[in-house]
Amino acid sequence: MNLGPLKYFFLILFYSFHVFSEPLQLKYANFKLLDKISNKLTEKTIKVNESDYIETLNIRVYSCFTEPPNKIPEDYVLVDIKDNFENEEKSIYKGWMISSSPDVTPLEHPIYDLWLLGCSNDKTS
């Protein structure tokens, strides 16, 4: 009996689970904010499905994903950012931010630079 094709079938099936592994959804998103005027850095951890303020920015986190350990490290977050300047809340960014490429999905703001540091399952990371 020739087991050659059957061997290759099971080998491909085994490795396909590793190739197509899905990202992991985590509970917290970690951000860093730079105030360009005062040159002050602020780090903030925000829970998924909640919002919080950093300076005048109201950041709502919808989801935060990371790649599985067997893939290249990458975190990405879906956010809605509003600026509450002079008691007027204005939406300035809605979309995905990627931790390894903050210049690909930048926040365009005259005072602040905001980027994703990563996702985690605890608030201390």
Q: How is residue 112 written in tokens?
A: 């602040």
**Per-residue model confidence as pLDDT tens digits over 34-82:** 999 999 999 999 999 999 999 899 999 999 998 888 888 899 999 999 9
Asked whether residue 6 is domain-assigned, the answer is: no
| Percentage of residues in the chain having pLDDT higher than 90 | 48
CA distance 118 to 11: 34
CA distance 122 to 79: 19
The DSSP line for 6-60 is: HHHHHHHHHHHHHHTPPPEE-SEEEEEEEETTTTEEEEEEEETTEEEEETTEEEE
* Counted domains in the chain: 1
**How many other C-beta atoms are found inside a 10 Å radius of the C-beta of residue 26?**
20
Q: How is residue 85 written in tokens?
A: 């300047």
pLDDT band at 23 (very low <50, low <70, confident <90, very high): confident
Asked whether residue 2 is domain-assigned, the answer is: no
Q: What is the pTM of this model?
A: 0.77
Asked whether residue 87 is domain-assigned, the answer is: yes
CB-based contacts of 86: which residues, under 8 Å, 6+ apart? none
Asked whether residue 92 is domain-assigned, the answer is: yes
